[in-house]
């Protein structure tokens, strides 16, 4: 790979919306067409919409906010691993990836990525995610950042928040909504920079890959 690969889904208000979350809006609050000197957009959105990350505070009441996350974990070597044809990713699937020892950042490319072919699709409850046991596997392997290509690392049907809590209680950074369609499995350098919102439980991110 040469150059920079953008793995961020472009923010549009018609991206799939988590059930119960408010529909985002963008408004041209000043416009040259309406006589203003400049064009100025206003944006109103939940912070877990589109490509975003979860800070510990998303599920841990006294956990770190997004502005307190360690930039040294958000930037650095990562592995993109492919898990296709699977709905629930288990420790067995992760084990079979043969991820190099010492991997700190892992992005999972699944059948989800194909959903971004149609960015304005309706939210798909059948998305691929990891089991709570897989979350524990990630913690045990001392991975500090886990990414996935749909809106949650956790299965939609889960009756509790265990997968999130297992990861966030030890401050594993969860990056969700990545577009990995064009990324071949392998080693890269990740730069995943969230909007620095004071005390927030998450934030939109811009995430890019460069050659390892």
Contact residues for 109 (Cβ-Cβ < 8 A; gap 6+): 80, 81, 82, 83, 84, 149, 180, 183, 185
Per CB under 8 A, 162 contacts a second copy: no
Is 58 tagged catalytic? yes
Contact 21, 48 (CB under 8 A): yes
> Is residue 33 at the binding interface for a second copy, with CB under 8 A as the rule?
yes
> Rule CB under 8 A: is residue 43 a binding residue for a second copy?
yes
Looking up tokens 């993109």 gives 80
121 part of the interface to a second copy, by CB under 8 A:
no
| Buried-state track 92-124, b at ≥16 Cβ within 10 A, e below 16 | ebbeebeeeeebbbbbbbbbbbebbeeeeeeee
Closer CB to a second copy, residue 67 or residue 82? 67
Give min distance, CB of 96 to a second copy, in A. Answer: 31
Identify which range of 92-100, 109-117, 142-150, 186-194 contacts a second copy by CB under 8 A.
186-194
Residues 85-114 that bind a second copy (CB under 8 A): none
Residue 77 interacting with a second copy (CB under 8 A): no
Active site residues: 58
């Amino acid at each position: 790979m040469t150059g920079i690969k953008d793995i961020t889904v472009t923010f549009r208000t018609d991206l799939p919306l988590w059930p119960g979350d408010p529909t985002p809006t963008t408004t041209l609050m000043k416009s040259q067409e309406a006589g203003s000197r400049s064009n100025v957009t206003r944006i109103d959105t939940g912070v877990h919409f589109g490509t975003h990350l979860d800070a510990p505070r998303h599920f841990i009441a006294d956990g770190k906010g997004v502005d307190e996350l360690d930039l040294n974990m958000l930037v650095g070597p990562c592995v993109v691993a492919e898990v296709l044809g699977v709905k629930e990713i288990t420790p067995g699937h992760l084990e079979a990836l043969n991820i190099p020892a010492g991997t700190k950042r892992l992005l999972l490319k699944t059948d989800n990525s194909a959903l971004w072919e149609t960015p304005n699709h309706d939210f798909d409850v059948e998305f691929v995610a990891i089991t709570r046991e897989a979350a524990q596997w990630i913690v045990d392997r001392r991975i500090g950042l886990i990414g996935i290509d749909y809106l949650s690392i956790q299965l939609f049907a889960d009756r509790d928040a265990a997968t999130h809590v297992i990861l966030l209680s030890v401050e594993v950074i969860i990056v969700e909504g990545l577009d990995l369609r064009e990324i071949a499995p392998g080693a890269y350098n990740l730069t995943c920079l969230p909007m620095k919102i004071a005390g927030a439980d998450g934030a939109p991110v811009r995430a890019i890959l460069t050659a390892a």
